Amino acid sequence: MMPVSVFAVLAASVFLRTRTIEPGEAAVSAPESGAWIVQSPGKITGEWREQLERSGARIHGYLPDNAYLVRLDETALRTIETSVPHGILTPYLPSDKRVAAGKAPDREFLVIVFDEAERTEVADRIRALEGCKVLFDTGEIVRARLTPAALDEVAGWREVVWIDLSVVNDSRPMCDRARLPAAMDLESVWPAMAGAPGLTGKGQVVAVADSGLDGGKLDTLHEDMRGRVSRTYAIGREGDWSDFIGHGTHICGSVMGNGAMSGGKVRGPAYEATLIVQSLCDEHGGTARPTSIWELLWQAYREENGLPGARIHCNSWGSGRDDDAEGAELLGVYVEDCREIDRFTFEHPDLLVVFASGNDAVDLDGDGVVDLDSLNSQATAKNVLTVGGAESARPAGVTYGQVVASRYPAEPVSGDDIGQPFDGEHLGMAAFSGRGPCDDGRVKPDVIAPATMICAPRSSAMRRPGKGAYHYKNGTSMAAPLVAGAAALVREWLGPVASDPDAATIKAMLIAGAKSLAPGQYGAGKWREIPAARPNPVEGWGMVDAGRSVGSGMKRFDVYDAKTISEGETAVYELPVQAGEELFAVLAYADAPAELAAAKQLVNDIDLSVVSPSGIRFWPNSLPGPDRINNVEGIRLQAAEAGVYRIEVHAAHLPMPLGPSLRYSLVIGVGQSLL
């Protein structure tokens, strides 16, 4: 007999990827599952959570709306049934635990267990299943090949919380004018310009996980990076972190190359920063990354042999659409990698993880406008800074239609030179740049940067013949390191105020300074590529502008790092504005990892709003009310009235804070129009 709540409840649904559980819906009997979904009778409170835990429930994670996934024994179940107020109380079913198998029955899967102590037993049981093979297991993850029959059986095991399509072996790399004012405006913050803040990245440590670096020997490295590599890891090939592909060297140079071999002309944003190299390239040129991305982040983050770890982690690789369209079902999906990234950054809020948005955008319907929903899987993580790609201002001599006619069959995209604006004037998007939104509606990418005809150091170990110290590459791979370098400059700028700032602060500052490229290079008509409203799923908040992101030219630029707020609290900030000035406010915070079974990924909800001197309230992200899905919120106003504006930060719902409160970052200011 299934438990039925005896308490009055506020009707609300629970949204899973596989189904929606409606209030009053009869629960299916599955007491052997050991895992249950328990919904609060209203908004989750700390008192209700404590009461649930006292009953013997072990909370694993949050499920929208207002529910927890918990593990229970029979005694705890009966206690909740009779003594803990609740709405929905229903078993977590085997069918709730897994994604669809996809077309190929022998694909790899990640079997996620509730508790790391249960991993070994689950791995052994999978090995015993006919036609199945365990490839690797670590932490809470067992990577295995499973038959369709085994998928159903493993999903029924009480130790298993989720079965995800593996993206481990699907991960692959994604392949000097960025410094100009029309692009990222780096020159305005470097020391050479009078009045500039003089930022070079000195003292900042950036990790790059990619195909390696140059010849793999510190004493003969490319001169642009020699002497500034503190640690190296040969993950793909034991003892060998050289770069025979050339991708990783280009990435590293785009972050922190100093232009030694070009007289300073070809220079990365953070040209005095220190580098940690994590070579993922295997002997065949594939990406041999760890099964758990948490381990990759920890390796770079931790202090080792007295050397500091990285606080910016740059990734120009990911999982998406293959040429035969296999893997397209992973685009925009919150996968196990996302949960691991969000878990690490929630627990280590000073690490900024940067991911390229991917190169999978296409115009499949042939209408001359690039389609949405093409995000690299890892780029959908909530706490990462996701970077899309724009064209630069250097002609490539080849069009999108000439490169991949099947992906870009129609004008104006097919006839557009991939390296320069179609109209010869307005910068626009690279057609291949991964676009959002995420599958749950969250806005990604966060920002964009130049991604075509990017000049950076060439690896001396490349197997493909080539001459010179530099070469050109295209892809959001090239945009991500430029933003990682800009992030290092922002972090350096924050040093006198916050020596160890939260990543959310850096993220908020980069977003606050970003400039929109709307409508883009094809005009405002039927082929418009960038919506007017920001943020949008094409450019996010816009092109990173280093000068604006550190307040250059602003009348006022206030940064609030690592502030804390508790459930129900409202923090108020005041900002005087003169008529005609623009006001901006950006809120960002590291959110708790989402349950993979959840249909919506936001867990903790902090809201931003602005109240004008006359009492008009403005909401973020071009919405008519509070944003309930994003952990980045921004407001830009062309001030129509003079007076003091109130910027309010409200903790609407914190079901999974790390402690009694949650950290957030806020950037507010007044300046010239940034629209």
CA dist 384 and 376 (Å) reads 12
Q: What is the pLDDT of residue 393?
A: 85
35: alpha, beta or left? (left if phi > 0; alpha if psi -120 to 50):
beta
Burial of 452 (0-12, 13-18, 19+ CB in 10 A): buried
CA dist 372 and 231 (Å) reads 39
The CATH code of the domain at 14-94 is: 3.30.70
pLDDT band at 7 (very low <50, low <70, confident <90, very high): very low
What is residue 671's three-state secondary structure? Answer: strand
Burial of 404 (0-12, 13-18, 19+ CB in 10 A): middle
Sequence-separated (6 or more) residues with CB below 8 Å from residue 425: none
Top CATH class of 108-165 equals alpha beta
Q: What is the pLDDT of residue 612?
A: 96
Q: How many CB atoms lie within 10 A of CB 91?
A: 20
Q: How many CB atoms lie within 10 A of CB 53?
A: 15
The larger pLDDT score, comparing residue 8 to residue 422, is at: 422
> What tokens were used for 550?
């550190």
For residue 561, how many C-alpha atoms fall within 13 Å in the half-sphere facing its CB?
A: 19
> Among 587, 627, 622, 441, which Cα is nearest to 507's?
587
Tokens 């969000």, located at residue: 342
What is residue 511's three-state secondary structure? Answer: helix
Contact present, 201 and 273 (Cβ < 8 Å):
yes
pLDDT of 30 over the 60 cut: no
Q: What is the pLDDT of residue 675?
A: 37
Residue positions counted in the chain: 675
**What integer is the mean pLDDT of 342-349?**
98
Top CATH class of 187-390+423-514 equals alpha beta
The larger pLDDT score, comparing residue 669 to residue 673, is at: 669
Q: Across 7-16, 284-293, 356-365, which has the greatest mean pLDDT?
A: 356-365
Burial of 556 (0-12, 13-18, 19+ CB in 10 A): middle
> Among 642, 641, 647, 643, which Cα is nearest to 618's?
647
For 477-522, how does the pLDDT look when each residue is reduced to its tens digit (9 = 90+)?
A: 999 999 999 999 999 999 988 889 999 999 999 999 999 999 999 9
Say whether the peptide bond before residue 269 is cis (omega within 30 degrees of 0).
no
The letter for the amino acid at 584 is: F
**What integer is the mean pLDDT of 247-259?**
97
CA dist 455 and 465 (Å) reads 17
Partners of 312 in beta bridges:
206, 352
Sequence-separated (6 or more) residues with CB below 8 Å from residue 467: none
Domain spanning 553-671, CATH architecture: Sandwich (2.60)
In angstroms, the Cα distances linking 605 to 79, 136, 272, 636, 659 are 29, 36, 38, 21, 15
563: alpha, beta or left? (left if phi > 0; alpha if psi -120 to 50):
beta
pLDDT band at 29 (very low <50, low <70, confident <90, very high): low
CA dist 336 and 162 (Å) reads 9
The larger pLDDT score, comparing residue 133 to residue 554, is at: 133
Between β-strands 160-165 and 108-113, what pairing exists: parallel, antiparallel or unpaired? antiparallel
Contact present, 236 and 288 (Cβ < 8 Å):
yes
**What integer is the mean pLDDT of 365-374?**
96
For 213-234, how does the pLDDT look when each residue is reduced to its tens digit (9 = 90+)?
A: 999 999 999 999 999 999 999 9
The larger pLDDT score, comparing residue 171 to residue 662, is at: 662
Three-point CA angle 543, 546, 547, nearest 5°: 115
Contact present, 111 and 160 (Cβ < 8 Å):
yes
Is the pTM above the cut of 0.85? yes
pLDDT of 115 over the 90 cut: yes
> Among 412, 372, 341, 257, which Cα is nearest to 596's?
341
pLDDT band at 106 (very low <50, low <70, confident <90, very high): low
> What tokens were used for 292?
């758990």
Contact present, 581 and 557 (Cβ < 8 Å):
no
> Among 191, 210, 202, 171, which Cα is nearest to 457's?
210
Which H helix or E strand runs over 665?
strand 662-671
Enumerate the domain spans of the chain: 14-94, 108-165, 187-390+423-514, 553-671
Q: Do domains 14-94 and 108-165 have the same CATH topology?
A: yes
Between β-strands 141-145 and 133-138, what pairing exists: parallel, antiparallel or unpaired? antiparallel
pLDDT of 325 over the 60 cut: no
Q: What is the pLDDT of residue 598?
A: 97
pLDDT band at 102 (very low <50, low <70, confident <90, very high): low
**What integer is the mean pLDDT of 631-651?**
94
* Chain centroid to CA 627: 18
> What tokens were used for 487?
């992030």
Q: What is the pLDDT of residue 3?
A: 42
Sequence-separated (6 or more) residues with CB below 8 Å from residue 231: 276, 277, 304, 307
Q: How many CB atoms lie within 10 A of CB 86?
A: 22
Three-point CA angle 163, 167, 169, nearest 5°: 125
CA dist 216 and 245 (Å) reads 12
What is residue 427's three-state secondary structure? Answer: coil
Q: What is the pLDDT of residue 473?
A: 94
pLDDT band at 329 (very low <50, low <70, confident <90, very high): confident
Say whether the peptide bond before residue 409 is cis (omega within 30 degrees of 0).
no
What is residue 219's three-state secondary structure? Answer: helix
> What tokens were used for 237?
């090939």
In angstroms, the Cα distances linking 483 to 255, 348, 549 are 8, 20, 12
CA dist 403 and 259 (Å) reads 30
Q: What is the pLDDT of residue 6?
A: 40
For 579-617, how does the pLDDT look when each residue is reduced to its tens digit (9 = 90+)?
A: 989 999 999 999 999 999 999 999 999 999 999 999 999
pLDDT of 37 over the 60 cut: yes
